[in-house]
Structures are given as structure tokens and as C-alpha cells.
Amino acid sequence: MAGLAKTMGAGAMTNSIEEITESQVLFVIGSNTTEQHPLIGSRVIEAVKNGAKLIVADPRRTYLAERAYIHLCLSPGTDVVLINAMINVIIEDGLFDENFIEKRTEGFEVLKQDVLQWTPERAERITGVKAEDIRRAARIYAGAERAMILYCMGITQHNCSTDNVIALSNLVMLTGNVGRPGTGLCPLRGQNNVQGACDMGALPDVLTGYQKVTDPNVREKFLRAWGAEIPDTPGLTVPEMFKAAEEGIIKAMYIIGENPAVSESHLSHVEKALAGLEFLVVQDIFLTETARFADVVLPACSFAEKDGTFTTTDRRVQRLRKAVEPLGNSKPDWQIIVELAARMGYNMTYKHPSEIMDEIASLTPSYGGISYDRLEGPGIQVPCPHKDHPGTPYLHKDSFARGKGKFIPVKYTPPAEKTDEEYPLVLTTGRVLYHYHTGTMTRKIDFLNKKCPGPFVEINPVDAQKFGISNGDVVYIKSRRGEIKAPARVTEKIKQGVVFVPFHFAEAAANYLTIDVLDPVAKTPQLKACAVNISAGGEKHGDN
């Protein structure tokens, strides 16, 4: 969430799920909310029923897009252009919040000059969205007293993901849509505890609560608490780690509860890296594709067998409670880590996760007031700096975490891989409702498998005709990096020139095709857009 950190000083969902129904306008961009965050999707629908206007920007006609007041059906990777053009319209029409800009922000003049070039007409040529629709969307968003933006993977999985987020926060600050209930900029995090993993410092450059490893005072504080020196240079991100492993710099990996052998972009590289490691430990509840590469596999228990906390996408710390005993000889992750540390001569003495949380609270300003005795009810939204603090439903009330909000002009970076004669279509990847991430859990469930048993590729009817493909044909999808096959779903729901493949399925892992260009700041792999071609494989799905 590097983009948000730059502009507002905090990288989390600014507002609460509860407030969605208080908004007058909801702008959903790059998020197939209904399938990825079903509860939030249903709140959006509820808001629409209450009269809120919904704007959806997505290359697919998603469930929400079908119910939207305006669907901006843009080409993958052109979000910045769309947003810049909306800003252009708002400034041109004088719909910005002068008071808010004056009091709470800096850099407006620079932004104003910069977006002059982004007329809706120019944006139409790049995004494929009609200039008139861009104008309408901009006016509706700016005209609302309370407008909220929800965004997800579609925005954060491009090589320009940081820019996309900065562009959105420009839009938010321009209209003063922040620091009040029912407004804000809300990144929807994918897995259940992404927010918690970030808050806890499972990141290469920061410790808990985003305290930087480069800050000597921070290192000093953790040295005192942990009794060990913290390395002073930021470490490597996931994709960088796999590169380093391939180059032989990283020799050993310890992977818990992740399945990068399906989820990472440019998969063949990841497999090569995993296979080449001197020593690999994987700790999981199933023998995943990744675990098969391991030298030692440690059986963890599931969420039902342990105590702990998860932090929601809207920053609510909630209690996870043990319901059943660990299966077989499996153990909770925390206990395995404690035992491993002990064997390496480092003493961790926790008897229960609540004691770990007490230590977290003592080292982390934003979790300072969190303790298990306070989590019996609905949980507490962080930041919660002290024991008497009620928690924070929305951020940036009177000032931004960084002081003044900063407008930063954003240039358009076209997708790293352009389509050409050989690879004429843009591939975009994503989730479906019935599965979760790489499917390690959901694919074990009969009902979900029946609803959505395997991979598929969505193709627009015009493209299908062009390539001689009909519904149900097995289709080969090829990029410069690999090839997969999947049955075709010919549907109007996908924009012409674009194909969609879900990434849950190991047997047709979309990430064999994707490209591993990283966003230079956020280091997000560009899973969302790459060039492919398709051809019919001469069989029908279900043959053989």
C-alpha cells in the first residue's frame, strides 16, 4: 500500500464496512467485490437499494457492473488515465472542495497543471471508455456529499499499482471525500488476515506498525525487547526472493501457509527457484504444490484448532477461538515457531497467544490498547493507541497521518507488455466466488467444486468468432512465458480484446502466463495484464 502511505501517510482502508450503506456514491474500481469480498459486495447492493449511485470501472461486466449506474468498461491497465480524466473534469467544472484543499492538502497547483492534458476525449482513445461517460462519472462522484472508493487487486496488480493508488487519492482529496463517515478510499485486502500480516511487520522493510528497519531508534527499541540486533537494510520482497533463490543467493526458505507454486506470477521461475534451494521448509495444513518441493514439511493446524486474532480489511482486530483439538500431530503455527526458535537457542516463553499480543501491544503504537480481555465483543479497530481508546472507525479525521495530504501528479505507464500480431489479446486474471486464492482449502469442499469445478477462460463473442472458438471448446492460451489450456466461456461479460482466467487452479495456473515485471515502489507483480493469443484445441471440454 505504498501509494496511500505516500499521499496520506497510512496504507489501510480509511473507512469501515459499516459505513458503506451511509455513502451516496460508491465508486468500485478494479474489484470484483461480489466474488472477492461477498459481504462488502452485499453492502454495496444494499446501499444502491437505499438510493446510492454506483460507479464501476472494470474490463469485465461483473455482478456489480451489471447493477451499476455507470459501468466504465476500461481496457486493463489504463486506470490512471481514467482517473486523471475524472480529475480533469472536476477541476474544469469547478467541482472540487476548495476549503478542504486549502486547509488539509498541498501540491494542488501542480496537479491542476498536470491533468490539463488529460481531457476525457484523450482518455477515451486510451481507455476505450466514452468521454461522455467519464464526464458523467466525475460529476456524480464530485457532486456527492459522501462518496467512497473501493478498490482491489485490479488496481494493485499492475506495474503501475502505486500510481493507480496515488491517482485515486488525488481524486479523494480533491473532493474532500475523506475523514468523515461514509467517505474515503478503501483498499479491499484479499486474504483474511492481510491487514494483520502487514500490521505485524511480515514485510521486508518494516517491523510492527510500519516502524522502519532503517530507523536506528526503532532498531534500538526492538534490540531491547528482542535481545537481538535487527538488520538495518530492508530485505527482499516475495518476487525478489525467488529471483535471489534462482541466483543462488538465497539458499534456504521457510514458507508458512502460502502456496507460491500456484499464486506467484511467472510460475516456471518460481518452481525452478524452489527446486534449486539447498533447504526448504513448508508449514501448512495440506501438502500443497509448494510443499511438494520441501525437504521438511511441518503440519500446522487450521483456524478451527487455535486461538489468535485476525485483523479485517477495515482494521478490526477480532478473536479467533479454538473450537476443536489439533488434528493428528498438527500444531498451531505459533507453537511450531516457538519450538523451532528454542532449538536454535532463542528462547520464546509464551504459553498462549494472548501473551504474544501483550508483547505486540508493548512494541506497536497502533496496537497499544489491544489485549485479549478487550476483544470479547465485536473487536477493536486499530489504531488503538492505549487501553482506554475505543478504536478508530475512520482515519484522517482532522489531519492526515502524514500531516497535510499530498497531491502527486501521476503519469500514465502503459502495460509492460503490449499486444501485437502474435499475441493480440490482453489476459487478465482474478478470483471467482466459489474458491479462495490457490484453492488449497476450497477445492477440498465438494459443494464449491461442483459449483465451479475447474478452470475456464472468458472470451468475448466477437473475439471467439474471430478465433473460431465456440462455447465449451478447449482453448490453448499462450503468452511469451508459457501455455495453459482451459474450456472457453464465450460471454459478453468480458470486454472485447480481453480474456479472463481465474488463478485458483493448479492444473491451468494462469500464472504460467503472467509477467513478473514489478511495480517499482510497491513491488506488486503485474498479474493483471499481459499479452496472449488463443487457439481452439480441437476438443470439447469433457472429451477424453
Residues near 525 by beta carbon (within 8 Å), at least 6 away in sequence: 157, 239, 264, 265, 266, 514, 515, 516, 517, 518
Partner touching 203 among ligand SF4, another protein, none, CB below 5 to 8 Å by kind: another protein
CB closer to ligand SF4 out of 309 and 479? 309
Angstrom CA distances, 471 to 95, 176, 459, stand at 46, 47, 9
Nearest residue (CB) to another protein, 217 versus 344: 344
CB atoms within 10 A of CB 373: 7
To ligand SF4, the closest distance from the beta carbon of 409 in angstroms equals: 36
**Cα of 284 vs its chain's centroid, Å:** 22
Q: How far apart are CA 103 and CA 100, in angstroms?
A: 5
Q: Minimum distance between the CB of residue 38 and ligand SF4, rounded to whole angstroms?
A: 4
C-alpha cell of residue 4: 496511500
Tell me how far, at minimum, the Cβ of 417 lies from ligand SF4, in Å. 32
Please report how close the Cβ of residue 191 comes to ligand SF4 at its closest, in angstroms.
10
- Least Å distance between CB 155 and another protein? 13
Does 225 bind ligand SF4 (CB under 6 A)? Our answer is no
From residue 485, alpha-carbon distances to 3, 99, 537 in Å are 36, 55, 8
| Residue 157 touches which member of another protein, ligand SF4, none, C-beta under 5-8 Å by kind | another protein
Beta-carbon contacts of 446 under 8 Å, excluding residues fewer than 6 positions away, are: none
Residue 321 binding: pick among ligand SF4, another protein, none (C-beta 5-8 Å cut-off by kind): another protein
Helix (H, G, I), strand (E, B) or coil at 291: helix
Please report how the helices 216-226 and 353-363 are oriented relative to each other, as an axis angle in degrees rounded to 10. 150
CB of 225: closest distance to another protein in angstroms?
Answer: 9
Residue 498 interaction partner, one of ligand SF4, another protein, none, beta carbon < 5-8 Å per kind? none
What is the nearest approach in angstroms of ligand SF4 to the Cβ of residue 18? 14
Identify what 205 binds: ligand SF4, another protein, none; CB under 5 to 8 Å per kind: another protein
The answer to whether 234 contacts ligand SF4 (rule: CB under 6 A) is no
How would you write 489-536 as a 3-class SS string? EECCCECCCEEEEECCCHHHCHHHCCCCCECCCCCCECCCCEEEEEEE
Of residues 26 through 45, those in contact with ligand SF4 by CB under 6 A are 38-39
Binding mask 418-457 for ligand SF4 (x = CB under 6 A): ----------------------------------------
Distance (Å, whole) CA 370 – CA 382: 8
CB-closest chain residue to ligand SF4: 39
| Among another protein, ligand SF4, none, partner that 216 touches (CB below 5 to 8 angstroms by kind) | none
CB 14 within 8 A of CB 165: no
Q: Which residue lies nearer to another protein by CB, 359 or 539?
A: 359
Provide the minimum distance between the beta carbon of 57 and another protein in the complex, in angstroms, as a whole number: 21
For another protein, the closer CB: 303 or 476: 303
Q: Residue 429 and residue 216: Cα distance in Å, rounded? A: 41
Give 47 or 464: the residue with its C-beta nearer to ligand SF4.
47
Q: Which is nearer to another protein, 240 or 483 (CB)?
A: 240
Q: Which does 36 bind (CB under 5 to 8 A by kind): another protein, ligand SF4, none?
A: another protein
304 lies in the site for ligand SF4, by CB under 6 A: no
Nearest distance, CB of residue 252 and ligand SF4, angstroms: 34
Among ligand SF4, another protein, none, the one that 260 touches (CB under a kind-dependent 5 to 8 A) is another protein
Site membership for ligand SF4, residue 248 (CB under 6 A):
no
Closest approach of ligand SF4 to the CB of residue 39, in Å: 4
Say if residue 493 is exposed, middle or buried (CB neighbours under 10 Å; 0-12, 13-18, 19+): middle
- From the list ligand SF4, another protein, none, pick the one residue 27 interacts with, judged by a Cβ distance below 5 to 8 Å according to partner type: none
Binder of residue 17, out of ligand SF4, another protein, none (CB less than 5 to 8 A by kind): another protein
The smaller minimum CB distance to another protein, of residues 110 and 341, is found at 341
Q: Are 123 and 85 in contact (CB under 8 A)?
A: yes
Cα–Cα–Cα angle for 143, 147, 152, nearest 5°?
135
| C-alpha closest to that of 149 among 128, 164, 131 | 164
Angle at 69 (CA atoms; ends 74, 396), nearest 5 degrees = 80
CB of 211 to another protein, least distance (A): 11
Cα distance between residue 147 and residue 27, in whole Å: 7
Which pairs with CB-CB distance under 8 Å and at least 24 residues apart come from 270-278? 270/242, 272/246, 273/242, 273/243, 273/245, 273/246, 274/242, 274/245, 276/245, 276/246, 276/248, 277/245, 277/250, 277/251, 277/252, 277/253, 278/251, 278/252
Using CB distances below 5 to 8 A depending on partner kind, what does residue 308 bind out of another protein, ligand SF4, none?
Answer: another protein
Q: Evaluate whether 44 touches 150 at the Cβ level (below 8 Å).
A: yes
Task: Please give the residue ranges that form the binding site for ligand SF4 (CB under 6 A).
Answer: 38-39
